[in-house]
């Protein structure tokens, strides 16, 4: 999950004034989704007679904190979902919209209502969510949460703190060996909610520091929060500058978390599958086509027929900081001022998962 997904470096100002705010990401929302991001954190405000994405303060959007009308970003999400009929996206809204029915009308106008996961079907007491396969078959492929409680009854938008557990955001969330519950959230070890969103970003985002933050410290914090949540692995991992790392990185940790949850291995690439006819488990997941992997992970929630903990012996990349102080990217990036896509051929992986067994990388 990308923290402040819309707050993009070099995004042009549509208000004709110099923007004065912090930036959290480096590429478009479309590119984030193409790279494997499946969760977006969006701050929405009433502004100029519309609903805008703003990185602001005091609950008010200003021309120097405004990015763009929210419908522009939501249409990017709609395009992605329509072109990728087996993918699921989650949106968490920091909600400052006071216009009656403003949010629900916004999503309808963006064409996203046809993918809506209905609040009535969401587990209310910590029960399991449907599998990814079930959600895809029902076309319930968009989960939306708001920070305003009244909108669940008024607009059918799920109240975030009813369904999601969170650790503290900002500097308290990156302090080593500490994973405190966010004050709005129920305790992390509560069993009354079945989704866990792990925040891992400092209060003041610095691009160059993200390389260090997303290496060994991130992996250590996942372990700390896993224990704090009563041995519950995060479903969402919210970060700034998601492509940056000095070894390891968020996609590496995604694979590690999903491997542990799916098959008890230290990476999803080590999960083994069984041949349908021979019932032998000699192959790793990455030796099969993505369609084969996807069908089995969705249908069964684990590699087909393989005993839990049956892992292929593979070499794991180091998550220790590299000597290259510039860090590295994983995936591809299209910067907001560039008309072309720039590819960084470093490690890149996408996990296929089922809620709540698998991690959504937000």
Rounded (5°) CA angle 290-292-297: 90
pLDDT on residue 274: 54
Rounded (5°) CA angle 21-25-30: 125
Decide: 188 and 165 in contact? Cβ < 8 Å: yes
DSSP 294: H
In whole angstroms, what is the distance from residue 80 CA to residue 31 CA? 10
Q: Is the pLDDT higher at 271 or at 236? A: 236
In whole angstroms, what is the distance from residue 302 CA to residue 298 CA? 8
User: Mean pLDDT, the chain, as a whole number?
Assistant: 83
- What's the helix, strand, coil split of the chain in %, to 5? 30, 20, 50
Q: Span 278-304, mean pLDDT?
A: 43
Q: Span 22-51, mean pLDDT?
A: 97
Decide: 333 and 6 in contact? Cβ < 8 Å: no
The HSE-up count of residue 248 (CA atoms within 13 Å, CB side) is 22
Candidate from 179-188, 204-213, 298-307 with smallest mean pLDDT: 298-307
Model confidence, pTM: 0.83
Strand ranges for the chain from DSSP E: 39-47, 50-54, 66-69, 89-96, 142-146, 158-159, 164-166, 195-199, 236-238, 244-245, 272-273, 283-284, 328-329, 331-333, 342-344, 360-361
Q: What is the pLDDT of residues 106-143, one digit of tens each?
A: 999 999 999 999 999 999 999 999 999 999 999 999 99
3-state secondary structure of 306: coil
pLDDT on residue 317: 60
pLDDT on residue 247: 77
What's the pLDDT band for 290 if we cut at 50, 70, 90?
very low
In whole angstroms, what is the distance from residue 159 CA to residue 172 CA? 24
- Asked if the model's pLDDT at residue 254 lies above 70, the reply is yes
The alpha-helical segments, DSSP class H, found in the chain are: 29-34, 70-83, 102-109, 132-138, 151-155, 160-163, 207-213, 216-228, 250-263, 290-300
Q: Is the pLDDT higher at 306 or at 253? A: 253
What count of residues does the chain have?
362
pLDDT on residue 335: 42
- Asked if the model's pLDDT at residue 340 lies above 60, the reply is no
Distances in Å between the alpha carbon of 21 and those of 91, 127, 201?
A: 22, 40, 16
Whether omega for the bond prior to residue 133 falls within 30 degrees of 0, making it cis, is: no
In whole angstroms, what is the distance from residue 326 CA to residue 340 CA? 22
Q: Span 212-226, mean pLDDT?
A: 94
Q: Span 58-62, mean pLDDT?
A: 92
Decide: 344 and 332 in contact? Cβ < 8 Å: yes
Rounded (5°) CA angle 84-90-96: 130
């Amino acid at each position: 999950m990308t923290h402040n997904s819309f707050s993009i470096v070099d995004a042009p100002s549509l208000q004709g004034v110099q923007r004065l705010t912090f930036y959290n990401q480096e590429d478009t929302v479309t590119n984030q989704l193409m790279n494997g991001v499946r969760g977006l954190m969006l701050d929405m405000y009433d502004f100029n007679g519309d609903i805008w994405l703003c990185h602001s303060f005091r609950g008010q959007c200003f021309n120097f904190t405004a990015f763009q009308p929210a419908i522009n970003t939501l249409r990017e999400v709609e395009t992605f979902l329509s072109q990728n009929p087996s993918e699921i996206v989650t949106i968490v809204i920091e909600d400052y919209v006071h216009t009656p029915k403003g949010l629900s009308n916004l999503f309808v106008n963006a064409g996203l209502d046809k993918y809506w996961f209905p609040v009535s079907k969401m587990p209310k007491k910590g029960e399991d969510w449907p599998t990814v396969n079930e959600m895809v078959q029902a076309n319930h492929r968009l989960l939306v949460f708001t920070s305003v409680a009244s909108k669940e009854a008024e607009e059918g938008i799920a109240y975030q703190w009813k369904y999601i557990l969170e650790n503290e955001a900002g500097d308290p969330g990156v302090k080593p060996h500490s994973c405190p519950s966010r004050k709005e959230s129920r305790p992390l070890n509560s069993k009354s909610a079945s989704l866990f969103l792990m925040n891992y970003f400092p209060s003041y985002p610095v691009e160059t520091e993200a390389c260090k933050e997303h290496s060994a410290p991130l992996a250590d914090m996942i372990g700390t929060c896993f224990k704090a949540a009563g041995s519950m692995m995060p479903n969402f991992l919210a970060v700034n500058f998601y492509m940056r790392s000095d070894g390891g990185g968020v996609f590496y940790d995604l694979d590690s978390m999903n491997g542990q949850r799916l098959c008890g291995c230290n990476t999803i690439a080590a999960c083994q599958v069984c041949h349908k006819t021979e019932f032998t488990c000699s192959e790793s997941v990455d030796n099969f086509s993505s369609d084969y992997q996807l069908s089995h992970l969705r249908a069964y929630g684990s590699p087909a027929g393989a005993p839990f903990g049956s892992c292929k012996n593979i070499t794991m990349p180091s998550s220790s900081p590299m000597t290259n102080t510039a860090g590295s990217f994983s995936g591809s990036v299209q910067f907001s001022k560039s008309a072309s896509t720039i590819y960084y051929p470093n490690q890149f992986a996408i996990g296929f998962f089922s809620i709540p067994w698998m991690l959504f990388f937000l």
